[in-house]
Structure 1
């Protein structure tokens, strides 16, 4: 009986190979065809002429597709291999190599296990020569994973670290190496064909093998799977130093640890995944998704501007590619791809929908990137979103303030059952965005909507203030207030708005100054951290007395 089962497995394996071979003929240069047979180990050519080796333990790999796509200053080569065991298709492995215009490249790897059985695979990157290496581990101190009232606990951390490989004191390779992320994809489908997509985190694994032999060093990253899941990792490879200044690297490691929830570390070929609130559908306490605020990598933009380090340049171009991958063929705006249960309950909105603040941040990010790197295609990125805000006002998707002015609502979906609320940070952000676009284009409709939004905020006045001195998060259509405001975001928006109005030749808002003073005093009294750029803005705009002698202001 046992022999019969063994022979059955052998026959199944032979049969699947015969079937696959019949569909896997690669044409060679002389017009002949070569059979592309499944194998236990395959190799993939990389931009620097190195061969990346891919192996699935106990499974056969069969290349199915390979494609190229060009983005702004980067290009993707995507290769997909199907996985087979005893003739059964177990899933696939996708390898995406994203080459940046400076010669550096990302390697994004995803194992998709369709079966209920666990499996594993490895990607190996060989570095030949008489080399020595140094791994700068990011795990210098333990992260305190504190509970957040909105999103719970985020157990993710940071990349494994930066690998420096040298031969005779000359740098051969610099590599930033990620951890391995294992998740289950959760999808909620709606009657109209829409869907909400989130990931449920199973584990984050610190898995890396560095094997040094006579021929050189082999860097191996495992892909673990427990069944019916996705397993992913990434690495960034360069033949130049990713960080020239040790201080910049030390600061980045420190900030990645301190602000681990706000720092991207789990990158994929389609964008970074970050912790989502508990109020999502499908429901899970460990939900992760492509949050549009984080798909646009503002931290990379800011750090590249101040340090000019190669690593942040690579992250910046990677973010630009991810934004257009996320958008696909939907031109103009970016739609959130997961449902917020409170938006669904209060306003009948499910994914996909337009979040005004997210689109504002993306438009500004793309424009600033275009200006900084002199990328013509990105310099006018603000106009599409500015036109959207003007149209929202024309179409009445606003809250009108009785004493004059109005506020554009925070969210929009053609399926919503009623208008949404307006949060103060959204209103200020949109107003600032319109003023900036007006300066760029001199289009009067942008200035007109911005003025109406200013009047709306001002005519609500000190009702924005809570008893403790903080500001309310949102105003509802019936002019009730609710919600705890962000620690710094709205304060930053208020400070920026005063500068924006002065830049177009108008006076500072007295109401805005009262809100700024009250909010800043609340932060000091409650002993909350005030970041250095915010502190500098407070000082420059005449509020330095509030933070004089205040110690909770970090250096960076």
Structure 2
């Protein structure tokens, strides 16, 4: 009888322990700095394993003045059955502020848990940014961007922080059987605001289905991120209005933005690392006009993720020596020319090279032991010389045009069209590289491209259309086609001629002819010039 009673007591104790383990929670601290802390709130029966092997490791990564402390954990049931992978990146910025990025991927099973971010004990003033009213205006190319601005901004005597939404997504990959290449995007499942516990903490709930991910970010500072409520309100108004200029979904690996429907795999909620958006020139422009700490940190996020993107692609062999390859396939580019990811978009690469150099010069950011981030224009110009030598051009009688897209691993060059704005972008890269280095090869290539522009479509009237506007491109067969951008190419023409004058060369007469034609066309259409075009026209004509 005593044995039976003892057995019952043991069973009751085990049952009570299991009940406690299944219904109770415990906290695990994973990061802390200056009174701020980040911890996981997990069921008591879940164990946290910090992994330090090759596939799942904790490490510190430095990129110039930036330092990433990346720690990864595996969550297990009762210490043996893995069910989730947690990755937290604490990125210290040159300003001394910290971007905290978290990412959770559930594996075989979903066991919900919470992340809790706790600021120093103080009275925090909370400014709600997102009101749950996403700008659902439809874009002809991108459709609807379903992401919202960050949840809000908190301030106290201890500093300030901004907390993002939580982004729930799943990766989708299209495998091209013919080319044996992959195109990967993220499909946004939903967006969720964090929970604000007044005067206590901010919490995120992780509960995605297996093999889907949830991520978000927090930017924290010991200083005010905005100098006044007015400048903060200006940013929120900008972010709510300029849907395709502001960045909401930030990760340690770069910003994810809305993709066109023509991307493989096509999805109405497809997002990816679009190189032209990762390069956050809007944040740089706003920083230059306001000097706000918030914008400096957004510029920092953009600069370091572009450097790391380039480094990762080169290390993986995806780039084959290129600068910043696009990692998803455009169906129209594939159908027209057979070009699939990874490939090099010459315009995006030009923008990035100028952006990184401008930021490096303005802030003094450089990568130790190399030129990354500070001599990108020269490096990209050398890459263009390599592609010219490889035959990635459209020939004219005495010159050539750079094609818009390079596919480096193709057995033979895949020749695409050459658009006027891409030509002028490559020309500006080569002329700037010549200005900085005085290397004749850069000037020679630039002169060949100018000759190519002058000779392109000569039997069709050149680049100026019968209606006075400009053609967009020359096709591989030599025909001119498609509508020009409203003012982008005009701006490029003005900048290219100013650059020629700056290096002591005469203005290109053909460029001025195209400028005059485009100006007349826009005036006849009643289109107002954008400020930068107006400024350059005044300098030219004044």
Bin for the TM-score computed over the shorter chain:
0.7 to 0.9
Q: CA deviation at 1:421?
A: 0.9
Match of 1:449 in 2: 445
Match of 1:26 in 2: none
Q: Is the 8 A contact 2:454 2:462 kept in 1?
A: no
1:229 has 2:212 as partner: yes
Match of 1:434 in 2: 430
Match of 1:211 in 2: 197
Q: CA deviation at 1:496?
A: 0.9
Q: CA deviation at 1:476?
A: 0.6
Q: Is the 8 A contact 2:490 2:515 kept in 1?
A: yes
Q: Is the 8 A contact 1:40 1:59 kept in 2?
A: no
Q: TM-score, normalised by structure 2?
A: 0.84
1:505-538, Cα deviation, whole Å (9 max, x unpaired):
2222233233334434555555667543333223
Give the distance between the partners of 2:333 and 2:413, measured in 1 at CA. 10
Number of residue equivalences? 500
1:419 has 2:415 as partner: yes
Match of 1:547 in 2: none
Q: CA deviation at 1:199?
A: 0.9
Q: 5 Å matches for 1:263-278?
A: 263-278=246-261
Match of 2:494 in 1: 495
Q: Is the 8 A contact 1:133 1:163 kept in 2?
A: yes
Q: Is the 8 A contact 2:135 2:240 kept in 1?
A: no
Q: Is the 8 A contact 2:47 2:77 kept in 1?
A: no
Relative to 1, partners in 2 of residues 1:519 and 1:148: Cα closer, same or farther, differing over 3 Å?
A: farther
Q: CA deviation at 1:43?
A: 0.9
Q: Is the 8 A contact 2:135 2:146 kept in 1?
A: no
Residue segments in structure 2 that go unaligned for 5+ positions in a row: 1-10, 52-57, 315-320
Match of 1:82 in 2: 74
Match of 2:364 in 1: 374
Relative to 1, partners in 2 of residues 1:123 and 1:482: Cα closer, same or farther, differing over 3 Å?
A: farther
1:65-110, Cα deviation, whole Å (9 max, x unpaired):
3221111211111122223357543231211111113221011111
Q: 5 Å matches for 1:382-397?
A: 382-397=377-392
Match of 2:399 in 1: 405
Q: CA deviation at 1:62?
A: 1.7
Q: TM-score, normalised by structure 1?
A: 0.82
Q: Is the 8 A contact 1:409 1:420 kept in 2?
A: yes
Q: Is the 8 A contact 1:99 1:106 kept in 2?
A: yes
Match of 1:35 in 2: none
Relative to 1, partners in 2 of residues 1:130 and 1:506: Cα closer, same or farther, differing over 3 Å?
A: closer
Q: CA deviation at 1:389?
A: 1.1
Relative to 1, partners in 2 of residues 1:519 and 1:152: Cα closer, same or farther, differing over 3 Å?
A: farther
Q: Is the 8 A contact 1:275 1:287 kept in 2?
A: yes
Give the distance between the partners of 1:479 and 1:41, measured in 2 at CA. 67
Match of 2:55 in 1: none
1:406-436, Cα deviation, whole Å (9 max, x unpaired):
1111111121663111111110000011111
Match of 1:110 in 2: 103
Q: Is the 8 A contact 1:200 1:286 kept in 2?
A: yes
1:157 has 2:148 as partner: yes
Matched residue of 2:294: which SS? helix
Relative to 1, partners in 2 of residues 1:496 and 1:419: Cα closer, same or farther, differing over 3 Å?
A: same
Relative to 1, partners in 2 of residues 1:150 and 1:526: Cα closer, same or farther, differing over 3 Å?
A: farther
Match of 2:297 in 1: 314
1:68 has 2:68 as partner: no
Give the distance between the partners of 1:47 and 1:129, measured in 2 at CA. 13
Matched residue of 1:272: which SS? strand
Q: Is the 8 A contact 1:59 1:83 kept in 2?
A: no
Cα root mean square deviation, aligned: 3.0
Relative to 1, partners in 2 of residues 1:50 and 1:343: Cα closer, same or farther, differing over 3 Å?
A: same
Q: Is the 8 A contact 1:158 1:260 kept in 2?
A: no
1:133 has 2:125 as partner: yes
Give the distance between the partners of 1:333 and 1:467, measured in 2 at CA. 38
Q: CA deviation at 1:255?
A: 2.3
Relative to 1, partners in 2 of residues 1:448 and 1:57: Cα closer, same or farther, differing over 3 Å?
A: farther
Which of 86, 94, 97 is the aligned partner of 1:101?
Answer: 94
Match of 1:147 in 2: 138
Give the distance between the partners of 1:56 and 1:195, measured in 2 at CA. 36
1:349 has 2:310 as partner: no
Match of 1:504 in 2: 503
Give the distance between the partners of 2:535 and 2:511, measured in 1 at CA. 18
1:366-408, Cα deviation, whole Å (9 max, x unpaired):
1111111223543322222111111222222111123x32111
Q: Is the 8 A contact 1:40 1:57 kept in 2?
A: yes
Matched residue of 1:324: which SS? helix
Q: CA deviation at 1:118?
A: 5.5
1:212-239, Cα deviation, whole Å (9 max, x unpaired):
3xxx431223345244311111110001
Bigger mean CA offset, 353-362 vs 410-419: 410-419
